[in-house]
Amino acid sequence: MSVDPSTDGAYMQRRFAAPPERVFDAWTDPALARQWLLTVLIGKISALEMDAGVGGVYRLTGDRLEAFGEFLELDRPRRLVMTFGVPVQGPSSERLVVEIAPSGTGSELSLTKEGMPTEIGQELQQDWNRMFDLLKAAIR
């Protein structure tokens, strides 16, 4: 994950052997999302609600924390934008911008986290790397 000095936030890229459609679906299909999405941060998911449409919301309850957000943009299989928050920290103020492009026989995912202090974005690099390892396993 790297930081864009002109804005608060963080940026990360990862290549996957799966096609863009499969990578995109891992963000919006509850069965796939349950296997990897935010689990490193919130723990094992015990409940997941997801309405994967523009204006739809999601809520993941883990054994450590709960996370929630809203889908702001969905352009399958190229782009999705969603908010992200943890209730104990207050209202959702971070935005996750996910862009997925074909890359050879697979795809490349770019993740930008907006609306967070840059130093926190840098601290989350290891967590997102672990989540992307789980994502890779989920889309095989």
The domain that holds 53 is classified in CATH as: 3.30.530.20
Q: How far apart are CA 59 and CA 62, in angstroms?
A: 10
This prediction has a pTM of: 0.87
Give the range of the structural domain holding residue 15, as residue numbers without chain letter. Answer: 9-138
Residue 93 CB neighbour total at 10 angstroms: 12
Residue the block writes with tokens 């096609």: 19
The Cα angle at residue 74 between residues 72 and 79, in degrees rounded to 5: 110
Q: Shortest CA distance to 74 belongs to which of 95, 55, 93, 94?
A: 55
Q: Assess if residue 109 is contained within a domain.
A: yes
Tens-level pLDDT at each residue, the chain (140 residues): 343 444 566 788 999 999 999 999 999 999 999 999 999 989 999 999 999 999 999 999 999 999 999 999 999 999 999 998 887 776 656 899 999 999 999 999 999 988 665 555 566 778 888 999 999 999 98
Q: Into how many domains does the chain fold?
A: 1
Phi, psi of 38, rounded to the nearest 5 degrees: 65, 5
Q: Shortest CA distance to 38 belongs to which of 62, 16, 21, 57?
A: 62
